Amino acid sequence: MSRSRAAGDAGFSLAEVLVSMAVMSIVMAIASSGFYTMFHTSDTAETTAAAQAELQATFNKLDREIRYASRISDGYADSTTFYIDFVFLDDAGANQCVQLSLPKAGGTMKRRQWPLQGTPSGSGTAVANNLVSARLDTSTPKQVINPFLLAASGDGGSVMDRLNLRVNSVVGQDVSKQGVREYDLQFTAMNTLARATYPLACTH
């Protein structure tokens, strides 16, 4: 006795299975690409925020240090590097010189310290990376100039020395898209001493 197969119980042909697999492969590829983009964007945003927070913390630390300075020098430079000095009184009552430096071509800002009556040694320690001066001259094309600018006592009505720092940073930015952030910062030496009365000058 023969039995007929019920309608709809014929299963799938090989062609149908292959077409379904191809469609699923396309869907999975699109979904995977979307997930990768989402996680990459999230990771980039998190990394950017952390890097910028670290750089801001560095500038805050520098602000606290300069706040106790009694003198900020005029900025100066050699053939490759921009500099500025400031003097502060340490816990032992001795004047200390601190030099900040930044390569003209951009790179790492460094800090170096030595006694006022002594001479500096070593190359200093890194303060922040991937910086370049954001201060430009009036030439055409414009050239970068010293990012460290002293606003001396009496300038703008202030009796305190102030250091203005203008730098561009690619820290945490998308360099491939020319991402850059400019920092225009001012640090005030709250313990500024009169230059005529206290001629503090660092030796190099």
Q: Which of 58-62, 120-124, 172-176, 190-194 has the lowest mean pLDDT?
A: 172-176
pLDDT at 7 over 60: no
Spatial neighbors of 134 by CB under 8 A, at least 6 apart, are: 144, 147, 166, 167, 168, 182, 183, 184
Instruction: Supply the mean pLDDT for the chain.
Output: 85
pLDDT at 137 over 80: yes
Q: Which of 25-29, 32-36, 161-165 has the lowest mean pLDDT?
A: 32-36
**Cβ–Cβ < 8 Å for 151, 158:** yes
In the chain, where are the structural domains located? 38-188
Helix (H, G, I), strand (E, B) or coil at 24: helix
**Cβ–Cβ < 8 Å for 70, 191:** yes
